Structure 1
């Protein structure tokens, strides 16, 4: 179980669309909108987790046309997000919108987030520690995942809120934007590579 918990921690803590955009909402819009977006990400992640546990995700993604369509939609969105971050200029503006994305935006992001499917599939299908009682094992995995998921995401929101409070030099702000955009592009590249490999 300890190995499982460590694996979950490292799977979740690595930057992906959810945590990067959460830091951006915190940085761009503040604590209240950030918490609402976090709630959406949490609900969306658990919807993806439910789809993985019940096999619905496997059934849907078994059709190569649907899988390709979802991959194209998520890739396009993540490229758009990376471009908005990269070209935000000398401001810390991970995402540039007139209004914060809110709960609905968080749910929608997770539904098209390839990392959410990859992490939840790895969590559910790997690290078997109760082979004689699969339902209890799955319930424990869901519990451990959420117990680890919440503080990590609150940490990313906190980082975004701290960036909001800093008076960084324009060159530093540009470097932060470019680093976040590069991280998003790495996520996109890994998702596409995973999809295309034989």
Structure 2
């Protein structure tokens, strides 16, 4: 169980589409504005885990044409998010928008987030600690995962809000945006590299 907890922490604190978008929303719109998006991410993440645990993801990904369509959709959306962050100019966060991304956006992101599938597959197919009771193990893993997941995402939201509230120079704000966008592009590159 300790190894599982350590793996969850390290897999969640590394930048991926969910945490980078959460931080971007915090920076652009403030801490409270990100709650709806985080709620959508959490529900989407739970559904994502159920898809992986049930084996549906393995069945879907076994169809080459469907796998390609999902990969293209994922990459396109992640590139769009990277562009929105990079093009925000001298304001940390997203390119000018009237409202932050909300619950629906968080929910949908988890279905095309390649990191979410990798994390779910890694955590639920590995780190076996109750081989005699797989159902109880899955339930415990879900509880532990979410007890770590929520504070990590709220911390990224707070980090983004803090960065957004600082009186940083335009060059520093632009550099932060470009750094966040580049981190997202790394995730896209890893997704493409691991899919071939």
- Decide: shared fold, TM above 0.5: yes
Shift of 1:96: 4.2
Measure the CA separation in 1 of the matches of 2:40 and 2:61: 23
Residues in 1 aligned to 2:172 and 2:187: alpha-carbon distance in whole angstroms: 23
Match of 1:22 in 2: 22
> Which residue is equivalent to 2:61?
61
User: What pairs up with 1:149-160 in 2 under 5 angstroms?
Assistant: 149-160=149-160
Q: Say yes or no: does 1:172 pair with 2:162.
A: no
| Residue 163, structure 1, aligned to residue 163, structure 2 | yes
**Structure 1 unpaired stretches of 5+:** none
The count of aligned residue pairs is 196
Contact 1:25–1:95 (CA<8 Å) still a contact in 2? no
Gaps of 5+ in 2: none
Contact 2:93-2:164 within 8 A present in 1 as well: no
- Answer whether contact 2:79 2:185 (CA < 8 A) is retained: yes
| TM superposition score normalised by structure 1 | 0.95
State how far apart, in whole Å, the 1-side matches of 2:128 and 2:95 are: 38
Distance in 2 (alpha carbons) for counterparts of 1:120 and 1:194? 15
Matches within 5 A, 1:103-114: 103-114=103-114
Contact map agreement 2:23 2:93 (CA 8 A) in 1: no
Could you tell me how far apart the structure 1 residues matched to 2:2 and 2:146 are?
Answer: 15
Establish whether residue 76 from structure 1 lines up as the match of residue 76 from structure 2.
Answer: yes
How far, CA to CA, are the matches of 1:187 and 1:43 in structure 2? 22
Give the superposition deviation at 1:95: 5.0
